[in-house]
Amino acid sequence: MKHIDDINSSMIPPIDFPPWSSLVAFRAAAHRQSFKEAALELRQTPSAISHQIKRLENWVGGPLFDRRVRQVRLTPLGQKLAEGLDRGFGEVSSALGRARAGTETKMLRIAALPLFANGWLTHRLPAFEKRHPSLSIAIDTSANIADLLLGEADVAIRNLQTPTPGVWAKKLLDIRAVPLCIPDLAKQIQSADDFAGQTLIGLTVGRRGWLDWFAAVGVPEPTDARMLLFDSMTNAIDAAAQGRGVLLALTPLVWDIPASKGLVVLKQFAPQEAGSYYVVCRKEDRTNAAIGGFVDWLCREMQRDLPRLRKVDSAARDRF
């Protein structure tokens, strides 16, 4: 007589499935039509995205993208796969939404970028908690992008160029990239040539930050500069405040981190657009009392705080 586990397992057909990470990378690149933008969304490097997609192409047995100079386009095979995956992810999202329907959210899971969480969100949360005294809150500030459609988080705060397709998104704040350092170091950097030999502080995730900034301001990347990379912006700010190098930071939220008070802006270089913070959730969760309530509260708080943020940013640019 077969064991019940053997019977059950024999009734479940095996699935020949490619690596999940390759599907996530492909879906992001398909929506963005760009490996670079997919890398920014998933907080990986473009080469990592390209590697994952190549693995999927090997599994499928054909090219999914037509790779051109500085751009990619879906092949007919890629377009067909992208449409199928969108339907599949949509079904998963609907199934998860139905499973959650009618249940009370007792744990609100928020995936937030470290700078936003540490500099702005955390000390405002007590006001929201007071409105929802029975609600527990978990905040994930890791570098991994939580997949909302698969239920890995209820709400996410992300830095995006444009909203991610398939979810509800609301812009909170436009951000800009500026180089910061202590005043003594700022005196040494009067032109682009003075970046030579300097230490450039950045993040281990999205390591193209400085490369993109140099390209945006039309400055050649210094060949003899060394990099000092951290896994969070708050640690990078601390290093800059210690005089260890020049930090590429995001304003205006950087000024809400206490360690930034000793830093000054290199004003000879114009601030560069660096996307926007968006609050994101599943479309069906907008009617959830806890999730929708948090999203609405967050949007109101940010709207109320925008004049202060602009004033702080302006004052910081004038203090050196």
Tell me, yes or no, whether 156 lies in a domain.
Answer: yes
DSSP for 17-42, written as a single string: ---HHHHHHHHHHHHHT-HHHHHHHH
pLDDT score recorded for residue 309: 94
CA distance 91 to 96: 9
Domain endpoint, select from 78, 98, 118 = 98
pTM higher than 0.75 = no
Confirm if 190 and 268 have CB atoms less than 8 A apart: yes
Single out the residue of 169, 137, 127 nearest to residue 286, CA to CA: 169
10 domain-assigned: yes
Q: Name the percent of the chain lying above pLDDT 90.
A: 41
Is 55 a domain residue?
A: yes
Domain CATH for 228: 3.40.190.10
Task: Give tens-digit pLDDT for 109-161.
Answer: 999 988 899 889 999 999 999 988 889 999 998 867 788 888 889 999 998 88
> How many C-beta atoms lie closer than 10 Å to residue 207's C-beta?
14
Q: Based on the domain organization, do 248 and 283 belong to the same domain?
A: no
Q: Do 246 and 307 lie in a common domain?
A: no
- Identify the domain containing residue 211 by its residue range: 175-274
pLDDT at residue 13 above 60? Answer: no
Among 40, 75, 98, where does a domain finish? 98
The 10 Å CB-count burial string (b at 16+, else e) for 59-95 is eeeeebbeeeeeebebbeebeebbeeeeeebeeebee
Predicted confidence band at 231 (pLDDT cuts at 50, 70, 90)? confident
User: Which SS3 state, helix, strand or coil, does residue 205 take?
Assistant: coil
Q: Which of 65, 21, 69 is nearest to 43 (CA)?
A: 21
Rounded Cα distance between 315 and 320, Å, is 10
Q: Give the number of domains in the chain.
A: 3
Q: How far is CA 268 from CA 130, 136, 289, in A?
A: 45, 46, 48
For 182-227, the pLDDT digits (tens) are: 999 999 998 888 888 899 998 876 556 888 888 888 888 887 889 9
- Section 282-291 average pLDDT: 88
Residue 32 pLDDT > 60, yes or no?
yes
Per-residue pLDDT tens for 33-56? 888 888 887 878 888 899 999 999
Q: Tell whether 93 and 8 lie within a shared domain.
A: yes
Domain of 8, CATH number, reads: 1.10.10.10
Mean pLDDT of the chain: 85
According to the model, what pLDDT value does residue 241 have? 96
Q: Does 149 share its domain with 281?
A: yes
State the average pLDDT over residues 11-30. 79
